[in-house]
Amino acid sequence: MKIIDLDNFKYKNRVERFRIAKNPMFTITSKIDITNLVKRKKKHKLNCMICYCIQNASQLIDNFHYDFNNDNSIKYFENVYVNWIIENKIGLHSYIGIPYQKTFSDFEKLYNFYNNVCYENCEHIFLDNQALVSTSAVVNREFESVSCGYTEDFLRPFMIWGKMHKNLFRYKLNISFRFHHSFFDGKEVGQFFNLLQKTINNFKE
């Protein structure tokens, strides 16, 4: 991690405008074709594959690597990691994140291992040395969009989706992406969704 003084930060004007805004969080929803992942869900968990693709696409976009520091500066992280939510053995939520993994095989091993650990121990795993992208899946209901809430203590990108739907021979998923306007604008969110679609289309075990 490195610290960037706000005066030297390329998005300085955005930060000055939106960090003090009453509601600086925005949400954009896009339809993503996940057919290539669905073909593989007998061998791999669909949520694991989606999280891996989100991690890889986020890693390649500079905006995901930034976060606010406590003072008037910005933190930059070399890697981006994804976390997700499971229901643990007492019926409560556990939040799990694993360090950035380049290959899917490494990602999947840690995904399955920590799912089991957190299920049994009812604990959470967060990382302090990587930039966070949070995810959530509401798989029992198909919906068009989610307007994500705003809390001052959680400003990192957040993605949520529901039940996938089938159209002819294609499987689609609406993914809602909540972001802080200091670090993203509409153009960059559009670039992310395009890259995410490309990452999913090119996914191989």
pLDDT reported for residue 27: 93
Residue among 130, 123, 117, 69 at smallest CA distance from 95: 123
Burial class (CB in 10 A: 0-12, 13-18, 19+), 124: middle
Looking at residue 154, the DSSP 8-state letter turns out to be B
Q: With 70 as the cut, is the pLDDT of residue 176 above it?
A: yes
Interval 125-173: pLDDT, tens: 999 999 999 999 988 888 888 887 766 667 899 999 999 999 889 999 9
Cα 86 vs. chain centroid, distance in angstroms? Answer: 15
Q: What is the rounded CA–CA span in Å between residue 108 and residue 106?
A: 5
Question: What one-character-per-residue DSSP string does 23-38 give?
Answer: --EEEEEEEEE-HHHH
In DSSP terms, 32 is beta-bridged to 173
- Token readout for 95 is 């939040």
pLDDT digits (tens, 9 = 90+) for 86-135: 999 999 999 999 999 999 999 999 999 999 999 999 999 999 999 999 99
User: 171 — phi, psi (to 5°)?
Assistant: -110, 130
